[in-house]
Structure 1
């Protein structure tokens, strides 16, 4: 357990702590799929070079919070240093390296949205900006010497588990050269985040637009916004952060913003300043910081019941929080926008947003809110459903992420099992959010249903890592060849979690809204129980739900014992 003191270099040179736009486009842009075709599937590159072959005991796909945390805990808790992180970007950080839109920041207190074993003692504010979050992650990486444990610019095309050998082979390629790669490992960890692949604006005529178009997740910092007419599509968390930055940051200073959206969100007052004062007061030691963190956890967990059922306590919490949001908006937003932005469904049905100066910014005369849909895009701007033309120079899509695509990894076995095919038939799920049936020695960090409406995904990741450490330990010790969740346990978990989610408000009829939490009646996003419950199910595995296959060495040892027992005993 240690503390980290940030140098704040990221505030002086934020460009050093964000991905280059062209690199981001190659992975996340509208034509990003072409990056997968750089390498041939024949076993050789265009230059005729054979695949580069590497090996480690643990393979980790992804170098964000989950990948960094899993690597550190594997070395610390299991004393296993033979691991390799495979990351498609050119640096660590994941979401916090790739998402660099103006105003991008943590939407919950960073003292909770950080590793429990490496707490920062000098966050600049409760919800620090993207570049400061990236600086924190890079400090953690250097503290635990992870730079010699990573292979950057590596795209994984498919992963195949050999059922006989009990070993994974990862087939990938270098994102720049197309050089083919093959990496073998005993344990495979899926550490790709959920907020990865942008859901681009899908509207007729976008290709004809003469101005600049960008998704908030693939931001082009070379574009000059000063004095320009901007259309922002969407009003979720990223829009809540982007709009005030485009208006108020001298670097952008947009001439006008027309924000077009249909949905509404509960926007809560900013986090209380008293929490920051308490953080500063106790930042002199790790234990002081951890105490503040526990206080935030306790307060958040105390509000969890608002997401469950229709009981008296749940309804009371909802009324209090909804009233707080509504009164805040009525007090600080122009009256003409109240009807457009105040929801009429149950609070918590969609993820709630702590305001980041968005509501006060609506008084700026340069902004206009429109609730009509976009009919089509034309060279000079966008045309709304009512046939009104909104002239613009720049279109910014704050339209969220493709969670299904982010979850999918090309994982399969030599016996014919495929995670993506299983999910296509039955819906995405994972036993305790971590293990997939028929796919041995594979663990998802922040897998299906690992998200919450009130908690920190980093805490969820740490819990999942602790589960993996316990279950995979016999494999890494050589005592067992493989481990897989039993089909019945997996199916029961899937059935139980979906049944429980129906009594929640996450995009259900009880919640009364249409939410990305719930698609087609199947919710693979949120966890239906409290984080205390999640901590329990990840720290106390039910080994009867798991099936281990013994390694050849353990078989030989057993055979030797049996043979020795058959020898005649001499008096």
Structure 2
């Protein structure tokens, strides 16, 4: 465990720390031209490793580090569609993009940065941190970039996975064999594109915030921002306040409302700088942030006195912040009427004060149709637009489409399409041996750090996968009854929680209405406990000597 120092090169050359637009558009935009195709004229490339990791974001990087350092298994391959590490922090490059929680918590506990410029640093600084970690642990030689994994098949007889994929540049097929498969593909991957009548007739520029085109000139342009979540909260002030953009106007279509909290207190940065001279000082500040966040957890579930009291305090903080910083005509348009936490909380940076800019307009009206030079709202109002930016989030359900199956006909998609996406303790799928999901179903929270959740999941993997990697066992799979019990228990608990539920009073990306496959129902302390201490009675190990096993 150690602290690291960033060079801040990302501040002088941010373009070095972001994906190129043409590459991002090719990978993430379903309608993009020149999509990668398979070239059957080339011979298939065959490779092997002990552990195959899909995804090179925080999850994939952390998995590789712990497999190599803690399990002493150096034979690891990381597959990634982009041309570099970073995942969402490499591909999301919109103006103002930044960590929405303190970076000291949104980073690896064993590699804490000693010189973040802000408590919630910008995208390029986050990506610089990721690149620094990759170089420190020598992971580049383990990665196969610009490679799409199209299907994964587990052979119950051999106990081996075969990954079928292709090189996205040449089209060459790939077949990779390994005993352990880890999916770290994440949920914030597939942009949910804005859909509206007439969009195809729009003569201006349209883009999704997740596929940002930095060549577009915003100066003097009339911009429509669709959405009111975390990305819009960051894009709006960046376009208004940065002289590089100097827009003529912004009209934000706030189709839904969010509880916007005051910025993270500046005193936290002061404490961080004071204690940044040593790793254990940084760890102390990290735990201070964790404890304060966990104290907010009661607002997410139940209707007891403590839950209602914590909700009341946080609602008052949000309302007071909006009342004191937003123009009076926008205050009602910003204030939700559902339970706080039903949608992810937004810790403001500069958004609410930026609404005072005379170039800014905010409306809760929806878009009726798009025309050549603007949009028409449901109230009949015409809004001129040169650029439309969709801050409409991600298609989470598409992220749950995993082409993973076994030679006996068991399929992840089959289970998830019929029962709803789920994973035992967020990590294991029934009847699919030797598969681990990091950042899988129900691993997200409304108050915590996804990196902390990733580290918890990796701890579970280390314990459960170790006998296979040591050659003592052939495979491991969760018992069907344990998987089903977990699913029923967590869904019942989530119905008592605020996350996009009837109890919470809103619709959000947490839930599709029938099954909540996104949110974790309990505290992060409990998540740490169930991943730190596996219940081996819920698992079935198949000995190496067995040649056949009943599913």
The TM-score bracket by the shorter chain reads over 0.9
Question: Partners of 1:448 and 1:437 in 2: how far apart?
Answer: 13
Pick from 225, 234, 248 the counterpart of residue 255 of structure 1.
248
What is residue 308 of structure 1 aligned with on the other side? 301
Structure 2 unaligned spans of 5+: none
Deviation at residue 533 of structure 1 after TM alignment: 0.3
TM-fit CA distance, 1:35 = 3.3
For the pair 1:156 / 2:155, whether they are aligned, the reply is no
**Residue 54 of structure 1 pairs with residue 54 of structure 2:** no
Cα deviation, 1:161-218, whole Å, max 9, x if unaligned, reads 1111000010001111111111111100000111111000011111111010000000
Counterpart of 1:242?
A: 235
User: 5 Å matches for 1:86-97?
Assistant: 86-97=79-90
Residue pairs, 1:97-108, within 5 angstroms: 97-108=90-101
Change (3 A) 1:525 1:33: farther
* Corresponding residue SS for 1:547: strand
SS at match of 1:3: strand
Residue 85 (structure 1) aligns with: 78
How do 1:306-455 residues align onto structure 2 when only pairs under 5 Å count? 306-455=299-448
> How far apart, CA to CA, are the structure 1 residues paired with 2:23 and 2:115?
31
State the secondary structure of the residue aligned to 1:26: helix
Could you say if the C-alpha distance between residues 34 and 307 of structure 1 is closer, same or farther in structure 2, counting changes exceeding 3 Å?
Answer: farther
Measured against aligned partners, the alpha-carbon deviations of 1:463-489 in whole angstroms (never above 9, x if no partner) come to 000000100000000011111111000
Task: Give the secondary-structure state (helix, strand or coil) at the position aligned to 1:453.
Answer: coil
Q: 1 CA distance for matches of 2:166 and 2:27?
A: 13
Matches within 5 A, 1:452-531: 452-531=445-524
Mapped contact 1:303–1:317 kept (Cα < 8 A): yes
| CA distance in 2 between partners of 1:32 and 1:303 (Å) | 42
C-alpha contact 1:374 1:383 (8 A) present in aligned 2: yes
C-alpha separation in 1, matches of 2:212 and 2:378: 27
Q: Secondary structure at the match of 1:527?
A: coil
The answer on whether the counterparts of 1:478 and 1:551 sit within 8 Å (CA) in structure 2 is yes
Cross-structure match for 2:8: 8
1:349 touches 1:506 (CA, 8 Å); kept in 2? yes
Shift of 1:33: 9.5
* CA distances 1:17-40 after superposition (whole Å, capped 9, x unpaired): 00000000111014259736x01x
Find 2:107's aligned residue among 114, 118, 123: 114
Rounded to whole Å, the distance in 1 between the matches of 2:68 and 2:75 is: 8
Q: Alignment RMSD, CA only?
A: 1.1
Q: Aligned with 2:380: secondary structure?
A: coil
CA drift at 1:372: 1.1
Deviation at 1:521, TM superposition (A): 2.2
Aligned residues: 547
Judge conservation of contact 2:260–2:346 (CA < 8 Å) in 1.
yes
- Partner residue, 2:35: 35
Equivalent position of 1:211 in the other structure? 204
Name the CA shift for 1:473/1:113 in 2 (closer, same or farther; >3 Å): same
**Alignment-derived partner of residue 167 in structure 1:** 160
1:458–1:346 Cα change, 3 Å: same
Deviates more, 1:378-387 or 1:211-220: 378-387
- C-alpha deviation, 1:522, in angstroms: 1.1
Q: Deviations over 1:353-386 (max 9, x none)?
A: 0012000000101011111111111111111112
8 Å contact from structure 1 (residues 192, 407) kept in 2? no
Q: Does the aligned pair in 1 maintain the 2:501–2:513 contact within 8 Å?
A: no
For 1:439 and 1:29, locate their aligned partners in 2 and report how far apart those are by CA, in whole Å.
30
Residue 24 of structure 1 corresponds to which residue in structure 2? 24
Q: Which runs of 5+ in 1 are unaligned?
A: 40-44, 556-571
| Contact persistence 1:159–1:171 (CA under 8 A) | yes
- Structure 2 vs 1, CA of residues 392 and 33 (structure 1 numbering), >3 Å: closer, same or farther? closer
